[in-house]
């Protein structure tokens, strides 16, 4: 698919309504790239005018900040803010709760003020407005559970938008015992994604996947590229990958699209 960059639009003298902030995982990780494509399709379907930064996008600095490298974080943030402000970006949507949290909460202190949406929030809004229509029976007979990402849930208090989105295509959500405020981390946050874990009894993603297995769903819905990787690995650890599918909210919605252009 072709997606315009903000620079290309600027050359035409235009600016997008939404910047789609793809994030490093969404740009480079194979599992997450699928989510980026699904989200782009959905936004197109809904007729949203959006663009990406393309090669002008860089890491928000989140993993550096969580790992204690405040210098690097601030450098990245100030550079990104310069780019965003120069293009006059007002609204941002992203499928990564870490980018979402950093752009929304941490950039304002450094001079970057934007209206930032996690994709579950925007998609939910588009569903409500009827700009996206789904076949309610797309996942008939399938059991779904939802894993709250820490940076969407506890960090930003958003528990409802993803659930309301899921309920559009599934009759009900089979909750894990630890969910919502009490949801267990997938183990990736705080820069853990980029290092070996400290010594202990087990990996955090295995502990979380055990929660998933107790529910025995067909699909685990996630709203974060890192959760997708971590729980995906956990499911593989238990050799359940042909029984349990880990899918992002955007992928679920895209597969349920009620539209001729959806393939």
Partner 1 sequence: MKYLPNILFFILLSAGIGFFTFQIKKIIRYVRMGRPTDRSDRPAERWKTMALVALGQGKMVRRPLAGIMHILIYAGFFIINLEILEIILDGLLGTHRLFAPLLGEVYDFLIGSFEFLALGVLVACGVFLVRRYGGRVPRLVRSGDLKGWPSLDATIILFTEIVLMTLFLTMNAADSLLQERGAEHYVRAGAFPVSSFLHSFLQGFGENTLIFLERFCWWAHIIGVLAFLNYLPYSKHFHIILAFPNTYFSNLEPKGKLRTDENVLKEVKLMLDPSAQPEPVESGSLPSFGAKDVTDLTWKQLLDAYSCTECGRCTSECPAHLTGKLLSPRKIIMSVRDRLEELGRLRDKHGPDYKDDKTLLGHYITPEELWACTTCNACVEACPVNIDPLSVIIDLRRSLVMESSAAPAALNMMFTNIENNGAPWQFSPADRALWTTES
- Contact between 58 and 68 (Cβ < 8 Å): no
Give, as ranges, the residues between 198 and 217 that touch partner 1 (CB under 8 A): 198-204, 206-208
Give, as ranges, the residues between 78 and 97 that touch partner 1 (CB under 8 A): 78
Check residue 261 for interaction with partner 1 (CB under 8 A).
no
Beta-bridge partner residues of 221: 146, 247
Check residue 227 for interaction with partner 1 (CB under 8 A).
no
Query: Which of 58, 115, 128, 140 is the binder for partner 1 (CB under 8 A)?
Result: 58
Q: Which is nearer to partner 1, 39 or 165 (CB)?
A: 39
Give, as ranges, the residues between 114 and 173 that touch partner 1 (CB under 8 A): 150-151, 154-157
CB 18, min distance to partner 1, A:
16
CB 31, min distance to partner 1, A:
11
Q: Which is nearer to partner 1, 61 or 127 (CB)?
A: 61
Query: Which of 33, 91, 237, 240 is the binder for partner 1 (CB under 8 A)?
Result: 33
Q: Which is nearer to partner 1, 11 or 137 (CB)?
A: 11
């Amino acid at each position: 698919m072709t997606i315009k960059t903000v620079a290309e639009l600027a050359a035409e003298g235009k600016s997008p309504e939404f910047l789609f902030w793809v994030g490093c995982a969404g740009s480079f990780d194979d599992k997450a790239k699928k989510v980026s494509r699904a989200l782009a399709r959905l936004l197109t379907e809904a007729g949203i005018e959006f663009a990406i930064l393309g090669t002008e996008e860089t890491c928000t600095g989140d993993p550096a900040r969580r790992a204690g490298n405040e210098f690097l974080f601030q450098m990245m943030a100030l550079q990104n803010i310069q780019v965003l402000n120069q293009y006059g970006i007002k609204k941002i949507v992203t499928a990564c709760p870490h980018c979402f949290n950093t752009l929304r909460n941490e950039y304002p202190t450094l001079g970057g003020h934007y209206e930032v949406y996690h994709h579950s929030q925007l998609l939910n809004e588009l569903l409500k407005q009827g700009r996206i229509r789904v076949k309610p029976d797309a996942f008939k007979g399938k059991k779904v559970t939802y894993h709250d990402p820490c940076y969407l849930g506890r960090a930003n208090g958003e528990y409802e938008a993803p659930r309301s989105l899921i309920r559009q295509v599934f009759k009900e959500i089979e909750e894990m015992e630890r969910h919502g405020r009490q949801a267990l981390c997938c183990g990736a946050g705080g820069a853990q994604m980029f290092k070996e874990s400290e010594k202990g009894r087990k990996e955090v993603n295995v502990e979380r996947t055990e929660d998933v297995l107790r529910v025995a769903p067909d699909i685990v819905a996630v709203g974060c590229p890192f959760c997708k990787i971590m729980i995906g690995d956990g499911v593989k650890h238990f050799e359940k990958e042909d029984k349990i599918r880990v899918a992002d909210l955007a992928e679920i919605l895209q597969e349920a699209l009620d539209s001729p252009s959806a393939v």
